[in-house]
Amino acid sequence: MEETETDSSVLNNGAGQTTDGCGLSDLFLRRRKNSDDDNSKIEAETGWQWQPAGPNGKNVDEKSADHLLADNVEGDSVDVQVHILSEYEKCPQYSYNMKHLRRGKMTIVSNRDFLESSGMAEFTRFGTEVDVGRLKTAFYQLGFECVVYENQTCAQMLNIFITASNDADTDVDCMAFAILSHGEENGMIYGIDDAIPLDSLLSPLKHGANMDKFAGKPKLIFVQACRGTQIDEGIDVYDSTDGCEKTGKCYRIPIEADFLYTYCTAPGYYAFRSTQSGSIFIRCLCDLLQRLWRSLDLLQILTRVNSEVAFHFQSAISENHPDYMALNKRKQMPCIVSTLTKDVYFLPKPKKVTTV
């Protein structure tokens, strides 16, 4: 049995410790006082479970959920490589150049333990190490060099992005970042000491001194953090079957171009994370990337991630809990914000790189 929580603020109630007789089917409400007003922010710690994809679907528990997502294909299928290369070359002017010597770097920032100054010291993000492991495995398979930074202050997080912008390499396909932490409304992300706007963290990727060298290349941002305090109640639905590289010309493009932001939840809503199994969003993201990167472009894969989380995930709470009616079977909807100007195909690299 396991206990899960949301990536926002929670009140200490023995969080992170598996309770006898509780776990996957239990949900705990945690509150903390907001320093700006007298309102309490609600934090839900909940188990997650898999549900049928449609009215004719079968119930799926967490163990057998691996069969929904896990793809045990080892090595690169020649037929699939030919397929993705063919799709890439059909309209090269609408596909990013992914034929550089190296794929690029995946920078993972994972904040688990927080200082008193943050107001979050009681709210350890148990399970984030599982997400980190999955991200490293998935992006290593895609050809990325993976670097992990743990328990970073706001200043340290900002410095990571400044360094990344200064070190921008012209001989890579793209750059990727994953931020795993607590979060709140208005784009606030927690360092271990305080909160900082996500826009401030990403600013060096748009205004950094060397980012002109990386103009026109995809910058991929993945965020596992709450974006508010709303809880998605969900609604019942039923399935229905009737219903190029630069050619010498100079282009001026917006500084906001070529970014892909993938959030674990929609603006204003909670994000769920298991203290033992990690977050449902990172799990689906990594599993589907490993399954589909050889055959689909990135936005198609992320749309399937949205589908998996939307249709196969819901919160679970025991019937004897006082908030059972209000908080049982709640949903989570990942959100994609894209300024990409071309398709992203992860063309196979001739050799793999080493993780750090």
Catalytic residues: 182, 226
Strands ordered across the beta sheet of 335-338: 145-150, 105-110, 175-180, 219-224, 259-263, 335-338
Instruction: Read off the tokens for 16.
Output: 């992170």
Instruction: Read off the tokens for 308.
Output: 């998996």
Query: By CB neighbour count within 10 A (0-12 exposed, 13-18 middle, 19+ buried), where does 108 fall?
Result: buried
How far is 91 from 244, CA to CA, in rounded Å? 8
Placement of tokens 């100007």 in the chain? 341
Kindly report the three-state secondary structure assignment for every residue of the chain. CCCEEECCCCCCCCCCCCCCCCCCCCEEEEEEECCCCCCEEEEEEEEEEECCCCCCCCCCCHHHHHHHHCCCCCCCCHHHHHHHHHHHHHCHHHECCCCCCECCEEEEEECCCCCHHHCCCCCCCCCHHHHHHHHHHHHHHCCCEEEEEECCCHHHHHHHHHHHHHCCCCCECCEEEEEECCEECCCEEECCCCEEEHHHHHCHHHHCCCHHHHCCCCEEEEEECCCCCECECCCCCCCCCCCCCCCCCCCCCCCCCCEEEEECCCCCECCEEECCCEEHHHHHHHHHHHHHCCCCCHHHHHHHHHHHHHHHEEEECCCCCCCHHHHCCCECCCEEEECCCCECCCCCCCCCCCCC
C-alpha 55: how far from chain center: 28
